[in-house]
Homo-oligomer: A and B are copies of this chain.
């Protein structure tokens, strides 16, 4: 299952809200449809959001008339628009910046035909997706060096193949371990309110034959206290320059619990998730979502009408809880303030 795939003239997006019950690919032909898909969590996961947005930019110019300067303007406009779909994951802005950069560089070539401009923009989106797959494989290989045969590893939310082009970030080592016949016992937090852990992580690991046990979020502490967990690994939507990490709500609780039990807490992400322009976690915007996700989350009302609800989609885990950050370029240890910039040099 691929979260998004290009189909000659439109984007196919797996509607992840329907998983694991139904496998439905939406046919998207406009940036507005891509915006909707991102906003309403049909696609989610920082890298997959970035990939979707990149194709959304191309969809904005696919049938546009005009010269390359006009197309570039249309690209800029589409990027501004798509950037409003969700606020926390930096990969969205990274992918849009890359598409803008590509358009700017193409527009410098005065002799370039409009059609060639368009084709080059489509190739850039395809390239972003292809690179993500390779990136995830590398992250998985680095992460796997941290695990040993038979270890219990807890993950939260879904940073798997469905959140990326393939393999995932946090889940990549599990797929590689499976390929190598190395036994790991994975525990997946169900991840309220949208249950990405139950619906997506448990689903994709089960499909791959990985040994996965589903628990409710509030069972993580007990499972750790039983000695069943030797490592935690999660994805992230943005890493600040000091190593503070924004990820799906509940990640911070898991990090505090891991520290209290002496369990290492690893964060896996592509370089594109590291945002050196955001000094600390305090500056990362945290999206709040509709109360319905909590009160009528499963098609059935589970809380009284009119009750006050707080529903942040993400939280920030301060860097002191993060044992290491695993990227395609290798494993980074503290001090992140010093070591993260070195990745980019």
Residues in chain B near residue A223, CB distance under 8 A: 310
Give a binary string over A194-205; 1 marks a CB under 8 Å from any B CB, 0 the rest: 010011001100
Residues in chain B near residue A253, CB distance under 8 A: 218-222, 253, 257
A312 to B222, Cβ gap below 8 A? yes
Name which of A192, A193, A203, A301 has the most chain B CB atoms within 10 A of its CB.
Answer: A192
A20 and chain B: residue at smallest CB distance: B304
B298 to A21, Cβ gap below 8 A? no
Task: Please judge, given known A-B contacts A198-B294, A307-B206, whether A219 and B312 are in contact too, CB under 8 Å.
Answer: yes
Residues in chain B near residue A212, CB distance under 8 A: 307-308
- Count of A residues near B, CB < 8 Å? 58
Which one, B222, B249, B298, contacts A216 given CB within 8 A?
A: B249
Chain B nearest CB from A218 CB (Å) reads 3
Bound CA–CA A256/B309 (angstroms): 24
B303 to A214, Cβ gap below 8 A? yes
A295 at the interface (CB under 8 A from B): yes
A111 at the interface (CB under 8 A from B): no
Bound CA–CA A187/B20 (angstroms): 32
Q: Please tell me how many copies of the chain the complex holds.
A: 2
A300 at the interface (CB under 8 A from B): yes
Bound CA–CA A332/B250 (angstroms): 32
Bound CA–CA A257/B261 (angstroms): 12
A151 at the interface (CB under 8 A from B): no
A190 at the interface (CB under 8 A from B): yes
Residues in chain B near residue A217, CB distance under 8 A: 192, 216-218, 250
A181 at the interface (CB under 8 A from B): no
Chain B nearest CB from A226 CB (Å) reads 9
B202 to A303, Cβ gap below 8 A? yes
A308 and chain B: residue at smallest CB distance: B213
Chain B nearest CB from A168 CB (Å) reads 17
A215 at the interface (CB under 8 A from B): yes
Bound CA–CA A175/B196 (angstroms): 37
A315 at the interface (CB under 8 A from B): yes
Give a binary string over A247-269; 1 marks a CB under 8 Å from any B CB, 0 the rest: 00110111011011000000000
Task: Please judge, given known A-B contacts A300-B300, A304-B20, whether A191 and B214 are in contact too, CB under 8 Å.
Answer: no
19 extra interchain contacts, Cβ-Cβ under 8 A, other than A192-B192, A214-B309, A221-B250? A156-B218, A190-B302, A192-B216, A195-B303, A198-B294, A198-B302, A211-B308, A214-B295, A214-B303, A214-B308, A215-B311, A216-B311, A218-B253, A219-B315, A222-B252, A222-B312, A253-B257, A256-B260, A298-B300
